[in-house]
Structure 1
Amino acid sequence: MRAESGLFKGLNPTVTIASKVLVIGFVIFCAVLADQAGAIFQQASTAVLNNAKWFYLGLVSAVLFFLLYLMVSRFGHIRLGKDDERPEFSFISWVSMLFSGGMGIGLIFWSVAEPMWHYADNPFTQGMSEESAAMAMRLTFFHWGLHPWAVFIIVALSLAYFAYRKGLPLTLRSILYPFIGDRIYGPIGHTVDILTVAITAFGVSQSLGLGVVQMNSGLNKVFGLPIGIGVQLTMIALIMFFAIASVMSGVGRGIRRLSEWNMVLSVVIVLVVLAIGPTRYMLNTFLQSTGDYANNLVGMSLWSDVNADSGWQNWWTAFYWPWWMTWAPFVGMFIARISRGRTIRELIGGALIVPTLVTFIWMSVFGGSALHEEQQAYQAHEQAIASGELAADSEFMGGAILQATQEDNTLALFTLFEALDPGLLGSVLSMLAVLLLATYFITSADSGTLVLCILDSAGSSEPPQAIRVVWGFVIACIAGALLYAGGLQTIQTASIIAGLPIAVFIMLMTISLYRTLRREPMAAAMLPPQARPDAADIDQASGQAAS
């Protein structure tokens, strides 16, 4: 399956060549014919969301409840590796890498912007009211809480189980082994890995392109650095230089250390904002919003806007779920790579509960601060009307943060820092946020590059150094070309369409995992004798992994 000599030594030539041809061809199409491609993908994505929304909502919720069941069931103590194997990384390092490889970038981008949008308008409450402020946090928690992490973890758990417990390659083709056996090493398996590579490359490249736009906005606000394509291309080159250096040093050094740095800097920023912002309001927001989220979890999970069908859900929840699915192969494989030696219970509990709580704290601090500032602005507006400074029919258009968000999402966080402290400290926070963005982008880029290299090298956890450099260069070129040609929005729309086949694959992997776990010897031994599978079935399930 892997070439033993020559240019492709250690690599799968079929996946390596075909994936790059597909990726580069698609990028050229999107860059050269951006308008035509955008129109096609927009129509297709709208059709998918309108007709498959029920499937997305039901599947993601089913996956979440399945994982919670596994965590507390007899399968929870099964180790993802040999029975005596222990984790490669400490718990702190592991959580740091989970967060950096998963949502670090998105949380910085949306921690202020999303609550602002829901505060201004949502289908449940009147906009810019006390009720809409509470609803804004509930909806933001929902979109960034347990559900997206469940999508990542089902992929990670399936990959880690079949690779480290059953001895199959660390690629998505292995999940099909219970269905098609050794045919995973043929055209079907190659096709799965090629598509996984393509989707991962698009996701990482788009994230890099969109991220430098936000960094450019921050540097413009703090230092007056001009916003332009030249500055953004330079940022892409610098980020990928450090990402390549990091991925070449390996997971245990570069990626781990950068991830730990990300967590330290994130904690510093949170503590500073807690200290200078409305501390009591933020802490109360965390407690109340967490309880509100828990009380409404089932209802929100299954709500489909069937009567009003206003379109709001297509813009948010039904957009988020396939969007997270397009990230699932990349993030899931990275989580699997760093989770060898942990039990199923440790993986689900640690990767589902801990990052969700950290996310809630982050959202409460930044989203809560922004909501407090907006409510203060609303009260000032009402006082101005009462005192006659404004006309009685004067309409409140939102405070500085909401107006900045509506103008450009990338400005939301930096406008918040300016509102909290218009002096030196606000500028320092903006600089720290830009630095944090850069390091999160580096860890996302190097973890994404590592996943691409693992796929090219037929699942090897230590792919050749040369392919790491090649993929790092290719990702930078893709991001730069799309940014230059204006094709990033086209890739984003196309990713939503890609979520549908991934959703089907996630459904198959859930079934495959459960079928195999039921015949796991360690799990079967915990059943009463009359309920245990036949010994022959257990032996067959244990021996299926021979490759």
Structure 2
Amino acid sequence: MREYLKQHTNPPVFIGAAVVVLAFLLWGVIAPSSVSSVANSVNNTITTNLEWLYIFSASAFVIFVFFLMLSHYGSIRLGPNDSTPEYGNLSWFAMLFTAGMGIGLVFYAVSEPVTHFLTPPTGEGGTPEAAQNAMTYTFYHWGLHPWSIYIVLGAAMGYFSFRRGLPLRPASALYPLIGNRIYGWPGALVDVLAVFGTLFGLATSLGIGGQQVGAGLNTLFGVPNTTLVQVIIIMAITSVAVTSVMLGIDKGIRNLSLANLWLALALMLFVFFFGPTRDLINVLANNVGSYAQALPKLGFETFPNGGEQAQSWQASWTLFYWGWWISWSPFVGMFLARISYGRTLRSFIAGALFAPVGASMVWLTIFGNSALDALQSNPDNPLADASPEKSIYVLLEQLPVAGFVATIASVVAVLVVVLFFATSSDSGSLVVDILTNGGDPNPKWQQRLFWAVLEGFVAAVLLIVGAVSGTNALSALQTASIVAGLPFCIVLILMAIGLTTSLRSEDFQKLKVKEPPPYAGLRAAAQRKAGPNAAVDGSDTEQHIEAEKRRDNSTPADT
């Protein structure tokens, strides 16, 4: 066992993270009320005294990624100068979108705008102005901020791993600040924090996914949506994720992500064509414009004079989201880095920022404004009293289609949640395993299995803690995200500083190379096949390159 740990893991990180998580699971099973009490106490301290840190840092990350994208640093590749992307744009987008947003978009696309419309942080609810503000707040929480947070970590890890040759682990991004201590206890601590945040951020997603699948089964078949049923759902779908992650990225995660993307697109188009289609087209542009106008103020809004209602709203929504995105950032950021080898910083940032944000805006407008239109037409609409996990099914039932068509749409919605659940879990377990094995992008299947199963158990325990303590399960999941995200918020700030420091040392004259001849692509392909850090000296490849050199009769570009 000792030899296995030495060869296939980073023992301090693997053992440290496993012990912490298993201890939490044991604590949650033995004394769930105690877990809830401690978590709520820490959560209240954070939301009361440190809200400014979350608000300021999240907006600073948006400014930082725009700076990287628009500056001359954008021409730097996540890999050698002659490296090329490993995945096509569609596959790349499908994987990053389903991993980065997933279940949350399905869960909150209807319920969040409805909640902001009925009970806004300031002003009167139920008015046309409240409806517009509801969509602006929703865009704020799902727009540029989450993806900027992911990009900071993804860009840092992709750069330091693929270009600087350091292990694919969060601690590597701190090399300019702490040097070789990334291989000691400071680096291990950073990676353990990343594992802890990833597991609890994922547990939040898996928990709300279990709630929403349970609500779908209740709508379709009358199955009681109890905590026990949700736990069974989590374990069942975790088994699907285990199968996917065991197959790896190309055969498992990639194919599942593409299937998920097409099903989600079909569901969205169904609501678009059978909802208030013309109004949705008009309101999309208005939503984007209102978001763009309000963003500078919203990005730094702490409601110092907004009263208890505004403070409570911000703790329940904005701070929860920022903590959730930050705790997800090791998972999504590392996964983005893993699938983005060969892209320039500019293309990486632009693709990972505008494509998913644009898709999210369209999705939120179609579902959110369809619900708001129904509520404004009839204030007594069942949507006003629907629970968050059931609201999407209530909306689907109200569309002007035959009953069996609405039932089929609800079945598709359940499948979309299941697949988002599975893609989040399989991508997350792969990333956690990379974190705990020292940065190897192709970890052992036994470890992938261990972490995938553990994720499911963490989500189940959080649901049980919420039920036993008397609070609702969603509150327990939100508290876990806010608490888990705080320490890694500091790490992300240090990563941004480390990345900037290293980028400043780049020789930009060497980036201005001519298009490499065909044989440079042969070596790059061999390098990608062997791994970004492996030495490539295969005789077949080199002989082929020499033949190409003689045929070109010219000096090749430096590869």
Superposition TM-score, scaled by structure 1 size = 0.88
**Quick one: distance in 2 between partners of 1:356 and 1:67?**
14
Tell me the equivalent position of 2:522: none
Tell me the equivalent position of 2:518: none
Relative to structure 1, the CA distance from residue 80 to residue 240 in structure 2 (aligned partners, 3 Å threshold; closer, same or farther) is same
Tell me the equivalent position of 1:506: 492
For structure 1, which segment, 479-488 or 246-255, has the greater mean C-alpha deviation from structure 2 after superposition? Answer: 479-488
**Quick one: distance in 2 between partners of 1:511 and 1:7?**
32
Decide whether the 8 Å contact of 2:58 with 2:322 is kept in 1: yes
Deviation track 1:71-96 (CA, whole Å, cap 9, x = no partner) reads 11101111000111111111111111
* Superposition pairs of residues 254-265 of structure 1, within 5 angstroms: 254-265=252-263
Tell me the equivalent position of 2:293: 295
| Offset, 1:214 | 1.1
For structure 1, which segment, 450-459 or 490-499, has the greater mean C-alpha deviation from structure 2 after superposition? Answer: 490-499
**Quick one: distance in 2 between partners of 1:50 and 1:372?**
35
SS of alignment partner, residue 50 of structure 2:
helix
Deviation track 1:173-215 (CA, whole Å, cap 9, x = no partner) reads 1111111111111111111112211221222233223311210
Relative to structure 1, the CA distance from residue 33 to residue 350 in structure 2 (aligned partners, 3 Å threshold; closer, same or farther) is same
Decide whether the 8 Å contact of 1:71 with 1:345 is kept in 2: yes
Relative to structure 1, the CA distance from residue 309 to residue 512 in structure 2 (aligned partners, 3 Å threshold; closer, same or farther) is farther
Tell me the equivalent position of 1:497: 483
**Quick one: distance in 2 between partners of 1:403 and 1:5?**
57
Tell me the equivalent position of 1:386: none
* Superposition pairs of residues 379-390 of structure 1, within 5 angstroms: none
Decide whether the 8 Å contact of 2:68 with 2:74 is kept in 1: yes
Tell me the equivalent position of 2:385: 403
* Superposition pairs of residues 56-205 of structure 1, within 5 angstroms: 56-205=54-203
**Quick one: distance in 1 between partners of 2:41 and 2:501?**
38
Tell me the equivalent position of 2:525: none
Tell me the equivalent position of 2:399: 420
Decide whether the 8 Å contact of 2:86 with 2:339 is kept in 1: yes
Letter in 1 for 2:349: I
Decide whether the 8 Å contact of 2:193 with 2:488 is kept in 1: no
**Quick one: distance in 2 between partners of 1:172 and 1:23?**
19
Tell me the equivalent position of 1:476: 456
Deviation track 1:4-41 (CA, whole Å, cap 9, x = no partner) reads 94365321222212211100101222333222222222
**Structure 2: any 5+ residue segments left out of the alignment?**
468-472, 513-532, 535-559
Letter in 1 for 2:446: A
| Offset, 1:524 | 8.5
Is residue 358 from structure 1 mapped to residue 338 from structure 2 by the alignment? Answer: no
| Offset, 1:469 | 1.4
**Quick one: distance in 2 between partners of 1:209 and 1:140?**
21
Tell me the equivalent position of 1:540: none
SS of alignment partner, residue 250 of structure 1:
helix
**Quick one: distance in 2 between partners of 1:232 and 1:122?**
30
Tell me the equivalent position of 2:332: 331
For structure 1, which segment, 497-506 or 152-161, has the greater mean C-alpha deviation from structure 2 after superposition? Answer: 497-506
| Offset, 1:271 | 1.1
SS of alignment partner, residue 156 of structure 2:
helix
| Offset, 1:523 | 7.1
Decide whether the 8 Å contact of 1:169 with 1:458 is kept in 2: yes
**Quick one: distance in 1 between partners of 2:172 and 2:151?**
16
**Quick one: distance in 1 between partners of 2:350 and 2:118?**
35
**Quick one: distance in 1 between partners of 2:455 and 2:321?**
23
SS of alignment partner, residue 305 of structure 1:
coil
Decide whether the 8 Å contact of 2:75 with 2:511 is kept in 1: no
* Superposition pairs of residues 223-302 of structure 1, within 5 angstroms: 223-302=221-300
Decide whether the 8 Å contact of 2:36 with 2:466 is kept in 1: no
Relative to structure 1, the CA distance from residue 116 to residue 78 in structure 2 (aligned partners, 3 Å threshold; closer, same or farther) is same
Count the aligned residue pairs: 504
Decide whether the 8 Å contact of 1:75 with 1:523 is kept in 2: no
Tell me the equivalent position of 2:423: 443
Tell me the equivalent position of 1:391: none
SS of alignment partner, residue 151 of structure 2:
helix
**Quick one: distance in 1 between partners of 2:499 and 2:288?**
31
Letter in 1 for 2:397: E
For structure 1, which segment, 68-77 or 415-424, has the greater mean C-alpha deviation from structure 2 after superposition? Answer: 415-424
Superposition TM-score, scaled by structure 2 size = 0.86
Letter in 1 for 2:271: V
**Quick one: distance in 1 between partners of 2:372 and 2:228?**
35
**Quick one: distance in 2 between partners of 1:262 and 1:141?**
22
**Quick one: distance in 2 between partners of 1:523 and 1:447?**
37
**Quick one: distance in 1 between partners of 2:479 and 2:457?**
20
For structure 1, which segment, 459-468 or 472-481, has the greater mean C-alpha deviation from structure 2 after superposition? Answer: 472-481
| Offset, 1:339 | 0.9
Decide whether the 8 Å contact of 1:30 with 1:490 is kept in 2: no
**Quick one: distance in 1 between partners of 2:305 and 2:457?**
46
Tell me the equivalent position of 1:538: none
**Quick one: distance in 2 between partners of 1:73 and 1:139?**
30
Deviation track 1:83-126 (CA, whole Å, cap 9, x = no partner) reads 11111111111111111101121000000000001100213442
**Quick one: distance in 2 between partners of 1:198 and 1:134?**
37
Tell me the equivalent position of 2:321: 320
Deviation track 1:254-298 (CA, whole Å, cap 9, x = no partner) reads 111111111111111111111111101111221110011112221
Letter in 1 for 2:426: D
| Offset, 1:365 | 0.4
Decide whether the 8 Å contact of 2:234 with 2:460 is kept in 1: yes
Match of 1:430 among 410, 413, 427: 410
Letter in 1 for 2:329: A
Identity, in percent, stands at 40
* Superposition pairs of residues 340-355 of structure 1, within 5 angstroms: 340-355=341-356
* Superposition pairs of residues 16-35 of structure 1, within 5 angstroms: 16-35=14-33
Tell me the equivalent position of 2:528: none
Match of 2:216 among 206, 211, 218: 218
Decide whether the 8 Å contact of 1:12 with 1:457 is kept in 2: yes
**Quick one: distance in 1 between partners of 2:174 and 2:452?**
29
Relative to structure 1, the CA distance from residue 135 to residue 320 in structure 2 (aligned partners, 3 Å threshold; closer, same or farther) is same
Relative to structure 1, the CA distance from residue 523 to residue 226 in structure 2 (aligned partners, 3 Å threshold; closer, same or farther) is farther
Deviation track 1:331-358 (CA, whole Å, cap 9, x = no partner) reads 1111111111111001110011110000
Decide whether the 8 Å contact of 1:204 with 1:448 is kept in 2: yes
For structure 1, which segment, 235-244 or 354-363, has the greater mean C-alpha deviation from structure 2 after superposition? Answer: 235-244
**Structure 1: any 5+ residue segments left out of the alignment?**
379-397, 527-544
Decide whether the 8 Å contact of 2:271 with 2:366 is kept in 1: yes
**Quick one: distance in 2 between partners of 1:319 and 1:207?**
12
| Offset, 1:229 | 4.5
Letter in 1 for 2:339: I
Decide whether the 8 Å contact of 1:281 with 1:372 is kept in 2: no
Decide whether the 8 Å contact of 2:77 with 2:344 is kept in 1: yes
